[in-house]
Structure 1
Amino acid sequence: MGTLTVTAKGQVTLRKDLLEHLGVHPGDKISIEKLPGGRVEVKAARPTGKISDAFGFLKGKTKGRSLSIEEMNEIIADGWAGKR
């Protein structure tokens, strides 16, 4: 376990190895929970959703043509990442 430095603005930067351990990437969210004794718990905030959120994902994105599996996967991944 290492230590982090708090900046004059009250910010802390997590090191790359910690971000990799959490499995987060640029643009992802991190959740922080306050615990007793001045401790905090840091977790990757995973998207939550319902299956019905997937209905209509491709509507308006096909421009009248068939999409490849790769194009569909990219659109779906963007949707799950909140880039809808």
Structure 2
Amino acid sequence: MGKLTNLTSKGQVTIPKDVSDALGLRPGKPVGLELRGEGEAVIRRGPVRVVPDPARVAAAIERIRRVQRDYHHLAKGLDPDSYMADLREPVPLPRETGE
């Protein structure tokens, strides 16, 4: 969607309503601008303050704890070969023939 607007003498630009609505921009709220290259900039909705849901936070913490429990053996600091050796059954050494 291409739109044109004019720059004011104060260096301000009016963002067309359909564009601001599509981006969720609101008066008084932050707007992010990122310079991409010569003659190009990107407009983004600024950071939005999110109020954490206590149930979702508790569920996330429980998932983290479950992963810590399930993978605690990885915290031993073993190198990959030693770790794989712990997982596998012992491999018998080839027998030497006495011929």
TM-score (norm 2): 0.44
Q: % of aligned pairs identical?
A: 27
RMSD over aligned Cα atoms: 2.2
**CA-to-partner distance for each residue in 1:13-36, whole Å, 9 max, x for gaps?**
111111101112122111001111
Deviation at 1:50, TM superposition (A): 8.8
TM-score (norm 1): 0.51
List gaps (5 residues or longer) in structure 2.
Answer: 55-99
2:15 counterpart SS class:
coil
Structure with the greater relative contact order (CA < 8 A, sep ≥ 6): 1 or 2?
A: 1
What corresponds to 1:35 in structure 2?
36
Aligned length: 52
**CA-to-partner distance for each residue in 1:22-76, whole Å, 9 max, x for gaps?**
112122111001111221011001235795xx9xxxxxxxxxxxxxxxxxxxxxx
Write the mapping of 1:8-47 to structure 2, written as runs, cut at 5 A.
8-47=9-48
List gaps (5 residues or longer) in structure 1.
Answer: 55-84
Q: Which has the higher helix share?
A: 2
For residues 20 and 47 of structure 1, the distance between their equivalents in structure 2, rounded to whole angstroms, comes to 15
Rg larger for: 2
Letter in 2 for 1:34: L
Letter in 2 for 1:21: A
